[in-house]
Amino acid sequence: DSLVGGKYRFQDANVTPGQTYYYQLEDVETGGATTRHGPIVITAPAASSGVEPGLVIALGLGVLAALSVGAFLVRKPIRGLKKPPAQ
């Protein structure tokens, strides 16, 4: 079986204007194995008066193979990385 990827949305309301952030998507299988995707590199736009700083990140994945019947994947954003992790 395979799980068809979907679209995921994460809103980061705790950003500093002009600061660069690195985000990854992590799959966690029922057996505990993890796989990270990304990173996505985003620089928060400069703040303008009357607008709260924040980022909305939309992520999409292709097809992910399930290792066993009934496996599920949990996706969570990982923020605050200083630099992209080694590939």
Segment 15-65, tens digit of pLDDT: 888 888 888 888 777 788 888 888 888 888 776 645 555 656 555 544 333
Query: 86 pLDDT exceeds 60?
Result: no
Retrieve residue 10's tokens: 């994460």
Tell the burial category of 8 from Cβ atoms under 10 Å away from its Cβ (0-12, 13-18, 19+): middle
Q: Please give the pLDDT value at position 23.
A: 83
pLDDT at 82: 52
pLDDT value of residue 83:
57
Question: In this predicted structure, what is the pLDDT of residue 50?
Answer: 55
For the chain, give every domain's residue range: 2-78
